[in-house]
Structure 1
């Protein structure tokens, strides 16, 4: 499917792209854990921009500790993210 496997630690790419993005601001720059792959889908950012043939990428469910996102909470938050939104976390972050 893609380059990431369940259990792998990833960092969401930071930044504030122009136009539409499916990356919630509260996970940008955060480290999470791949839960599972959701298959391959057209990149929503390019679909929203009207790109005639949008890229197709693997989409992953990524879990984040609520405490890491908001400083409190004992639960996880899951977000579906396209592969180009994430990168492997450095060892020190994992």
Structure 2
């Protein structure tokens, strides 16, 4: 069962980790919209250690307005960035 659906507004957890993660620091604490669901895969924190038997979870493609990511962004209001985030990094919009 999926935790989030296409169109859900989600916030990336503002957490730190000592291990590898694909969750970019500039998305942490920011809110975006789920635009795509990806099947389960080994989470990056385990994959980086070569653990093919590591923890698996779904990933979501989340779209952010660039003005929400960078305060000094001077581009168009419609400019967006999409990135893939593993489920444990996401929570419902705050």
Q: How would you bin the TM-score normalised by the shorter chain?
A: 0.7 to 0.9
1: CA distance, partners of 2:31 / 2:53: 31
Q: TM-score w.r.t. structure 2 length? A: 0.87
Distance 1:52 1:33 in 2: 30
State how far apart, in whole Å, the 2-side matches of 1:59 and 1:47 are. 14
The answer for the alignment partner of 2:87 in structure 1 is 83
How much has 1:87 moved relative to structure 2? 0.5
- Using structure 1 for the length normalisation, give the TM-score: 0.87
> RMSD of the TM alignment (CA)?
1.4
Point out 4+ residue stretches in structure 1 off by more than 6 angstroms: none
Shift of 1:36: 1.1
For residues 4-28 of structure 1, give each alpha carbon's deviation from its aligned partner in whole angstroms, at most 9, with x where no partner exists.
0000000001122002111001101
Does structure 1 retain, via aligned residues, the 8 Å contact 2:42–2:52? no
Q: How far apart are 1:53 and its partner, in Å?
A: 2.1
Residue number in structure 1 paired with 2:43 = 43
**Gap regions ≥5 residues in structure 2:** none
- Counting matched residue pairs gives 90
**Residues 2 and 83 of structure 1 are in contact (CA less than 8 Å); yes or no, is this contact kept in structure 2?**
no
